[in-house]
Amino acid sequence: MSILRIKNLHKSYKHGNNTTHVLKGINLDVEEGSFVSILGRSGSGKTTLLNVISTLMEYDKGKVVIDGNDISKLKAKKINSIRNNYIGFVFQEFNLVKDMNVLDNVATPLILNGMSFKEARKLAVEALTEVGLEQYTKVRPPELSGGQQQRVAIARAIVNDQKIILCDEPTGALDDYTAVEILTILKELAKTKTVIMVTHDEEFAKKFSDRIIMLVDGNIVKDEIINKREYTKSAKKKLKVSKAGFFNLLVYSFLSMDIDKKKFGNTFRTFSISLTLFIVVSVINQNLDIFTDRYLQFFVQSEAANKNIILDFIYQFLEQNISALIQVILYILIGFCIVSYLFVFTINIINKKREIAVLKAFGASQEEIAILFMLRPIKFTLAIFKDTLIYTFILMLLINGVFEFSSILVADYFSFFFNILEVSYGVVVSFLLNTEEAYIDFHIHYSHILYIFLIVIGLFMIGSLIPAYKISRSNTIRMLATE
């Protein structure tokens, strides 16, 4: 019984006014439980054929049927479900998400299918055990060798019991010894699944495959069965529209969200400092009379002002316009913060194009990818506000006069340290309990911070949605394919 049936398949690429006809009427039946190698020179169409089989690439005309499902008659959501439930991918460049550990990389297809993280991770461990890497669950891909990363990719390709494993030059980045190990694993998998591999290496293809197909200029010129074996057909999978769900996407966004702090460290600090100034200056503005009496008293002394017309002018100007000036400065700071964030996050999304392509390959819809990237600012904003709270706490201590240096001048060290305790206590209590404290003049409340946090994160999420959705709609398949 054919797990894959292709009839009169045509595919062309347009380059301006020129059209390149790549696949020219391909007809192909692939039996369930076989290891098929597709050979051909660069430009012969073998990778394009694999991309069409994967449902990631549209074709001009013809028919592609996967386990009785005619792809041309299915809507996008059903096709996503086909990819998630039927097709596993193994690429030459591995295409693992570097920000996540091995366990969550393997669990990705299940998470996208709406399975709970607990259950998905349990099945991911089983898949990793099958490829001999169960001891590397907490390791990140860059810490593994090329062969180990490819095994992780194989585990990801089989974790959802996918029936078809598509391999695009799976040994191209490996040495011969490691390549044999990977092909041995694939041959073992072909006892229960269908493996279709694109490769340049005819020797490996003859040694491990059951069937070899040769493509030349978009046509099949050779179709040879090397090894005929019996295979018991598995039950047809019930096709349902898979949905990751909001909670899965939220948790996944935290796991897969890493930003190079060496590269963007200055931007991080700028965000935190800008928000700190926004918060602290707002507090000062609410208690402007107290602040003026304590820290700008020299301006209001009539003797000093009368002696210097410039001081008098400055004071009059500040007295009449200080609130408006502060508001302008605050909104300029917060505006700069948001614009800078959007710039950094757009760069981050562009750098994640390969990850977006992988998510698409394992069944994520454009909407799910857009939501995922819209949720990622939550972790980013929490990191900014963590630093902001530290900076704000320090500044609030200072403007509340935490260091009473006059006590040091008269050697009253008890009063000096007691004042530190009083001010520190007052700032903490006023913040946590959302109340006024007698020990301090300038109060900051958690409701104030929470209000700003919600506004900032809301703006960040809305601003991130546009580039995220736009890039999720772009054709990223070429980032995964080699030709």
Is 122 within the bounds of a domain? yes
Residues 265 and 327 in one domain: yes
Model pLDDT, residue 331: 75
Q: β-strand 87-91 against 219-225: which pairing, if any?
A: unpaired
DSSP state at residue 140 = -
Q: What is the mean pLDDT of residues 352-373?
A: 82
Provide the phi-psi class of 348: left if phi over 0, else alpha when psi is between -120 and 50, else beta. Answer: alpha
Residues 161 and 267 in one domain: no
Residue 374, classified by CB atoms within 10 Å of its CB into exposed (0-12), middle (13-18) or buried (19+), is: buried
Distance, in Å, from the CA atom of 156 to the CA atom of 102, rounded to the nearest integer, reads 9
Model pLDDT, residue 241: 67
Distance, in Å, from the CA atom of 456 to the CA atom of 465, rounded to the nearest integer, reads 14
pLDDT, one tens digit per residue, over 417-437 is 888 888 888 888 888 887 777
Residue 284: is its pLDDT beyond 80?
Answer: no
Is 15 within the bounds of a domain? no
Contacts for 99-102 with beta carbons within 8 Å, 24 or more apart? 99/140, 99/255, 99/256, 99/257, 99/258, 100/140, 100/255, 100/256, 101/137, 101/138, 101/139, 101/140, 102/128, 102/133, 102/136, 102/137, 102/138, 102/139, 102/140, 102/141, 102/144, 102/152
Residue 311: is its pLDDT beyond 60?
Answer: no
DSSP state at residue 56 = S
Model pLDDT, residue 467: 74
Q: What is the mean pLDDT of residues 152-168?
A: 89
Residues 181 and 268 in one domain: no
The boundaries of the domain holding residue 332 are 261-400+441-479
Residues 378 and 467 in one domain: yes
Residues 101 and 166 in one domain: yes
> What is the phi/psi pair of residue 30, to 5°?
-120, 120
* Percentage of residues in the chain having pLDDT higher than 90: 9
Residues 221 and 334 in one domain: no
Which residue has better confidence, 93 or 214? 214
* Three-state DSSP class for residue 139: coil
- Output Rg (C-alpha) for the chain, integer angstroms: 31
Angle at 369 between CA 363 and CA 373, to 5 degrees: 150
Boundary residue ending a domain (179, 200, 226): 226
Residues 446 and 307 in one domain: yes
Q: Which of 106-115, 128-137, 332-341, 439-448 comes out lowest in average pLDDT?
A: 332-341
Residues 311 and 452 in one domain: yes
Which residue has better confidence, 237 or 44? 44
The H or E element that residue 281 is part of is helix 261-286
Instruction: Answer for the pair 39, 221: CB distance below 8 angstroms, yes or no.
Output: no
Is 44 within the bounds of a domain? yes
Is 39 within the bounds of a domain? yes
User: What DSSP string runs through 193-206?
Assistant: SEEEEE-S-HHHHH
Residues 333 and 286 in one domain: yes
- CA distances (Å), 291 to each of 280, 287, 327, 437, in order? 12, 6, 16, 17
Residues 182 and 114 in one domain: yes
Q: Return the amino acid letter for 44.
A: S
Q: What is the mean pLDDT of residues 256-277?
A: 73
Residues 126 and 175 in one domain: yes
**65: closest CA among 164, 157, 149?**
164
Confidence band of 119 (pLDDT split at 50, 70, 90): very high
Is 409 within the bounds of a domain? no
Q: Which of 18-27, 231-240, 305-314, 392-401 comes out lowest in average pLDDT?
A: 305-314
pLDDT, one tens digit per residue, over 321-361 is 666 676 677 777 777 777 776 777 677 677 777 788 888 88
Residues 266 and 221 in one domain: no
Model pLDDT, residue 483: 45
* Three-state DSSP class for residue 245: coil
* Three-state DSSP class for residue 437: coil
Q: What is the mean pLDDT of residues 1-25?
A: 85
Q: How far is CA 188 from the centre of its chain?
A: 33
Residue 115: is its pLDDT beyond 60?
Answer: yes
Is 415 within the bounds of a domain? no
Residue 262: is its pLDDT beyond 80?
Answer: no
**244: closest CA among 362, 120, 114?**
114
User: What DSSP string runs through 379-401?
Assistant: HHHHHHHHHHHHHHHHHHHHHTT
Mean pLDDT comparison of 115-129, 165-179, 260-274, highest-scoring range: 115-129
Is 418 within the bounds of a domain? no
CATH number for the domain that contains residue 44: 3.40.50.300
Is 253 within the bounds of a domain? no
Angle at 156 between CA 155 and CA 158, to 5 degrees: 65
Model pLDDT, residue 240: 67
**How many domains does one find in the chain?**
2
Six token digits for residue 175: 């040495």
Q: Return the amino acid letter for 405.
A: F
Model pLDDT, residue 21: 87
Task: Count the residues in the chain.
Answer: 483
Confidence band of 103 (pLDDT split at 50, 70, 90): very high
